[in-house]
Amino acid sequence: MKQTKYFITAVLALVALSFTSCDTAKDKNKGALSSNLAERTFVAPGEHDEFYAFISGGFSGQLSVYGLPSGRLFKVIPVFSQDGEKGYGYNEETKPMLNTSYGFVPWGDSHHPDISQTNGKLDGRWVFINENNTPRIARISLETFETVEIIEIPNTAGNHSSSYVTDNTEYVIAGTRFSVPVPQRDMPINEYKGNFKGALSFLKVDSESGEMDLSFQIMMPGFNYDKAHPGRGKSDGWFFYTTYNTEESHTLLEVNASQRDKDFIAAVNWKKAEEYIKAGKFETMKTNYAHNIYSDETHSATTTWKKEVKILDPSKLPGLVYFMPMPKSPHGCDVDPSGEYIVGSGKLSANVTVHSFSKMIDAIKNEKFDGEAYGIPILKFEDVLAGIVVQPGLGPLHTEFDGKGNAYTTFFISSEVVKWKLGTWEVLDRKPTYYSVGHLMIPGGNSRAPFGKYLLAMNKITKDRYLPTGPEVSQSAQLYDITGDKMELILDFPTVGEPHYAAGIPADLVAPNSRKIFELEENKHPHATLSEKDTKVVRDGNTVRIYMTTIRSHFAPDNIEGIKVGDKVYFHVTNLEQDYDVPHGISMIGANTSELLIMPGQTETFVWEPKKEGVWPFYCTDFCSALHQEMQGYVRVSPKGSNVPLKWSLDDE
Ligand code: RUQ
Ligand code: CUA
């Protein structure tokens, strides 16, 4: 009897053992597990993704468009950097988009995309994104998926606490990470303290056109303004900014800006700011900044130089700004969908600290202040504290929300995403990320109505995740299914550049409005050619303008003579196609710019300055039809001073 018992135990143990080893084996080659995961991210051929994800490119300066859950890359939208693929920043039409008060800047550092909202819900009209290095905010149209506006931000350096929108996209904001002398001037660096300033900018967004206008700046003390978030719902009307270096140190910040136990969250009442502006309580400062707008009618961008900005001084304007103490150099500043909780992530703190909007309002009403900084009242930490998530991980950075009462915070140092409960502050789940996660995104996760199905983590370090590609490896994004109690990592995919934040939206809020063509009869480009019979070549001194058209599968004209060395030749090319997905390209040997990629109904221009006599071909760069290879032409270039007459033709006519 005893023996039988032993025998059964032994068998059970063996069975258990074989189960374990079987599980481990499966885990190792990820057989059943990965086919199950693959199903959840698989979008069958011909089917569409459920979400768009707009992922910032960081040092690429661009914004890439991915599908979720597949992780497929659809487009890289050029924003702050030139892009030879699309001619952006190279063709004459889009060059003005990169004008700044520092001159033409061909590169940018793009950080935080945010989708426009109506009543605190994503409305799918525009994406805003900030440029950190040469302070700018861009607006991208979700009809054309093109950058249609870039505005420079004056008095700013390191435009990082940007570019988030209010509940009704009344404003998109920009804030300076580095404080600087305002106005800029020659002065000793070690006189920083008390003299440098931090500008917080409020850009009004036109509710119809989306056009931005720098309404006013709040001139804050010389701290670093790192991240920002608008109030939502009950806290609509406020904006919150994390600060660090409240020590106002100007050197070795890794030590000197980490002295204080607490920095601040700056709470800015922007409705109050509007009142002060209305009441004329501002100063007008002379400045100079570029405002670049691209028109879908002229297919061209123009730069307007703005010369003034309205400045509000918070030390003199009661009720405009309050400081809430927040532990240890906070980075992320995130507001939950109800608008009650303001989450600050102290990079050097072991905890995540959450402040309460209603407590803040009470403390302000009761005037319970704990001193002031440069005339701005400081609230007492305990009076505004909602709760603390105790020791959830190391190096908290950013938090997003699923709309079901949960928050998700990334931890850079401990490489994980931690799910915790709003109100009880308990940690519910944690999952590793590979590796060193920065931002995370839940579609609509910073709005009043998140779509809490997927979470995208954006990692700084990739190491062994993909095949090696030399010393530089791609950054990676990781997708988690967050519909269950526990998060599940279901996909990782490489990203373009190094993403800082992303914005996700259900595809059906965007896809139906996506533009297919530009109407030819609405083309108001000053050098458009609307039919082949209107094509021509015009000389004015050394300047030659070729008014050219494209249609499958030829250029008109395709033979041009009478061009001379030393000429400046403008190719104004109009694509006559009126069908979806039929762009034509054009490239010219010896042109020191990029090709053009011209959408149906659009006109674009490049400049060619021929340096050598001869007969030089041009061709279409976009495989447009079975006869794409036949889509080519010649330009005859004669020596300077030659009298070969100007001539152009198609089929010798
Ligand atoms: S900020 S993680 Cu612009 Cu956090 Cu990048
Ligand atoms: Cu047109 Cu190829």
pLDDT at 16 over 80: no
Q: Ligand 2, closest atom to CA 583?
A: 1
Judged by its nearest atom, the ligand closest to the C-alpha of residue 627 is: 2
- The predicted model scores a pTM of 0.94
Judged by its nearest atom, the ligand closest to the C-alpha of residue 618 is: 2
Which tokens belong to 7?
């025998």
Judged by its nearest atom, the ligand closest to the C-alpha of residue 625 is: 2
Ligand 1 neighbourhood includes 120 CB (under 6 angstroms) = no
pLDDT at 1 over 60: no
Ligand 1 neighbourhood includes 160 CB (under 6 angstroms) = yes
The Å distance, Cα 326 to ligand 1 centre, comes to 18
Q: Where residue 30 falls among pLDDT bands split at 50, 70, 90?
A: low
pLDDT at 8 over 80: no
The Å distance, Cα 31 to ligand 1 centre, comes to 36
Give 257-297 pLDDT, tens digit per residue.
888 889 999 999 999 999 999 999 999 999 999 999 999 99
Residue nearest to atom 1 of ligand 2 (CA): 584
Ligand 1 neighbourhood includes 397 CB (under 6 angstroms) = yes
Give 85-127 pLDDT, tens digit per residue.
999 999 999 999 999 999 999 999 999 999 999 999 999 999 9
The Å distance, Cα 79 to ligand 1 centre, comes to 18
Q: Ligand 2, closest atom to CA 552?
A: 1
Kind and range of the H or E run holding 505: strand 502-506
Contacts of 575 (CB under 8 A, 6+ apart): 549, 550, 551, 582, 583, 584, 598, 599, 600, 601, 602, 603
The Å distance, Cα 212 to ligand 1 centre, comes to 24
Ligand 2-lining residues (CB < 6 angstroms): 550, 553, 584, 620, 622-624, 628, 631
Residue nearest to atom 1 of ligand 1 (CA): 500
Contact 303, 92 (CB under 8 A): no
Q: What is the 3-state secondary structure (H, E, C) of 128-184?
A: EEEECCCCEEEEEECCCCEEEEEEECCCCCCECCCCCECCCCCEEEEEECCCECCCC
Helices 31-41 & 2-29, crossing angle to 10 degrees? 50
Contacts of 350 (CB under 8 A, 6+ apart): 391, 394
The Å distance, Cα 294 to ligand 2 centre, comes to 25
pLDDT at 29 over 80: no
pLDDT at 251 over 70: yes
Q: Ligand 1, closest atom to CA 132?
A: 3
Per-residue confidence (pLDDT) for residue 653, from 0 to 100: 87
Q: Ligand 2, closest atom to CA 550?
A: 1
Residue among 128, 241, 397, 476 whose CB has most ligand 1 atoms within 8 A, to mutate = 397
Question: Whole-angstrom Cα distance, residue 375 to residue 314?
Answer: 8
Give 555-587 pLDDT, tens digit per residue.
999 999 999 999 999 999 999 999 999 999 999
Ligand 1 neighbourhood includes 572 CB (under 6 angstroms) = no
Ligand 1 neighbourhood includes 500 CB (under 6 angstroms) = yes
Name the 3-class secondary structure at 618. strand
Ligand 1 neighbourhood includes 439 CB (under 6 angstroms) = yes
Q: Where residue 23 falls among pLDDT bands split at 50, 70, 90?
A: very low
Q: In what order do the strands lie in the sheet with 502-506?
A: 73-77, 63-68, 51-56, 502-506
Q: Ligand 1, closest atom to CA 412?
A: 2
Give 476-501 pLDDT, tens digit per residue.
999 999 999 999 999 999 999 999 99
Judged by its nearest atom, the ligand closest to the C-alpha of residue 596 is: 2
Ligand 1 neighbourhood includes 111 CB (under 6 angstroms) = yes
